[in-house]
Amino acid sequence: MRWGMARPGGGSDDGWFHLGKIEVTTTVLVVVLAVASVIEWAIEPVGKPVQNALVLDPDSVVSGQIWRLVTWPISYPSGIGLFDIFAIFLFWYFGTEIESLLGKRRMLWFLGLITVGLGLLWVAIAELSAMNTGLSTLTQLQLMVLLVFIAEYPQRRFFFNIPGWVIGAVIIGLYVISYLGYREWLLLLNFALGLVLTALVAKGMGLLSEWRQVPRLSMHRTRKPKKQKRTPSGPTVVQGPWRPSEPAPVSRDQAALDALLDKISATGMDSLTDHEREQLMVLRDRLRRR
């Protein structure tokens, strides 16, 4: 299957709300906040007090400004460049794919845990090493989302028909070589621990099912079974055959998959568009996990 840059599957549930005709899912919400932050950067004074208050500054976090652990991906104290715009686009694209597997609520937890976890790692390493460097922009979070997507679909084809696992290996290799070349041991440690953290969170959310090397941490509360109410003693009324049971409702995902399978049965696999092929794979993976 060739790699296409059309918008991926529409997600497993509705968005949180709508902005005009735009369905605001968790991924779209982060993108909207990033774009709003860029606009705010353009109109605020030269000192950029708002943007500087969003950056993950380790000393400020230790002194009590814990909101920075959440706001750092959407802070742009030095402005925005072409690479930042590309990072926002990639975050939207691959984040939407992952959200189509998780749903909006679990995607919110997924991004929140990674954001706070990466922030805490950075604060710990910076404080232990006396580094005075902040963390900002969506780039690092986008990188982790991209690597999770590649780990979930290692055989998916990217540009020039290159498998995803090759792209992932090259990205990780470049980071490692760069840190080794500059002898940035603490940054290398931060990168490695960030990869481990992201993998654990993804596995705990139900992703990376083929990666058995990654332990799965339970991230859902186990509910206590409800006590059954005692029924009063007396004659038992048996439901007769005159009231047939209602068929189980078909989910939207199953209905969409059935429609694609009917089209394949009628006109063959070659009749599917690139978007329909992409959607077929996403729906199969999603229903298989249930």
Read off the pLDDT of residues 198-219 as tens digits, 9 standing for 90 and up. Answer: 999 999 998 998 898 999 887 6
pLDDT over 80 at 133, yes or no: no
Mean pLDDT of 93-115: 94
Contact by Cβ (8 Å): 208, 151: yes
Q: Hey, which residues does 104 pair with through a beta bridge?
A: none
The mean-pLDDT minimum among 29-43, 82-96, 126-140, 195-209 falls in 126-140
The mean of the pLDDT values for the chain is 83
Q: What is the pTM of this model?
A: 0.72
**The two structure tokens encoding residue 65:** 């400004």
**The two structure tokens encoding residue 24:** 């605001």
Distances in Å between the Cα of 255 and the Cα atoms of 7, 49, 64, 151, 265 are 20, 50, 50, 28, 15
For the chain, the straight-line distance linking the first and the last C-alpha, in angstroms and rounded, comes to 25
Which one is predicted more confidently, 13 or 270? Answer: 270
Q: Determine the pLDDT at residue 5.
A: 40
CA 229 – CA 245 distance, rounded (Å): 24
> What string of DSSP letters covers the chain?
-----S-----SS--SEEETTEEE-HHHHHHHHHHHHHHHHHHS-TT-HHHHHHSB-HHHHHTT-TTHHHHGGG--TT---HHHHHHHHHHHHHHHHHHHHH-HHHHHHHHHHHHHHHHHHHHHHHHHHT----B-SSHHHHHHHHHHHHHHSTT-B-GGG-BHHHHHHHHHHHHHHHHHHTT-HHHHHHHHHHHHHHHHHHHHTT--TT-TTSPPPP-SPPPPPPPPPPPPSSPPPPP-TTSPPPPPPPPHHHHHHHHHHHHHHHH-GGGS-HHHHHHHHHHHHHHHT-
Mean pLDDT of 265-290: 71
For the stretch 217-242, pLDDT in tens is 876 554 555 555 555 555 555 555 55
Mean pLDDT of 241-265: 68
Which among 149, 158, 136 is positioned nearest to 107, based on CA atoms? 149
Q: Determine the pLDDT at residue 15.
A: 86
What band does 31 get if pLDDT is binned at 50, 70 and 90? very high
Q: Where do we find the tokens 């690479």?
A: 83
Cβ contacts of residue 138 below 8 Å, gap of 6+? 30, 34, 73, 74, 84, 87, 88, 91
Contact by Cβ (8 Å): 283, 290: no
